[in-house]
Amino acid sequence: MLNFLETIKQYNIVVVFSNHDDFLTRFINNGDIKKNIKNAYGIYGIWKSSIDGKAPNGIVPYIINSRFPKIKCLGKNESYKVKGWSVLIHGHLGSGGSRGSVQTI
């Protein structure tokens, strides 16, 4: 993700909250760090930043903005408009909390 963002950082990038953010947050908060010793130090650092309040929009935006502070990362319920059109939805959520799909968006 960071390598790709490096190639396009000169543009006006807006990253929307997605299922990837949710997964990573659940993994870090609920995962057994002993099962992932190889990455334990990095996971602990991200988890600590989260509980210290340094990641108010989530873990993925925190990681992105640590390296690219000019990239706009939307929080879970944050809106963003382009020429009057709302572009905040990634498509991973459907109505009533169901999984997102073409039919439920």
pLDDT along the chain (105 residues), means of 10: 96 87 81 77 83 87 94 85 77 57 54
Question: What's the pTM value of the predicted model, to 2 decimals?
Answer: 0.71
* Rounded-to-integer distance, Cα 60 and Cα 18, Å: 9
Domain range spanning residue 66? 2-75
Q: Which amino acid is at 8?
A: I
> What's the pLDDT at 99?
58
Confirm whether 22 is domain-assigned: yes
DSSP string over 23-36 = HHHHHHHHS-GGGG
* Rounded-to-integer distance, Cα 46 and Cα 78, Å: 22
Number of domains in the chain: 1
Confirm whether 101 is domain-assigned: no
Confirm whether 43 is domain-assigned: yes
Confirm whether 23 is domain-assigned: yes
Confirm whether 24 is domain-assigned: yes
* Rounded-to-integer distance, Cα 46 and Cα 63, Å: 8
Confirm whether 54 is domain-assigned: yes
Q: Which residues, including other chains, have CB under 8 Å from residue 89's CB and lie 6 or more apart?
A: 16, 105
Confirm whether 85 is domain-assigned: no
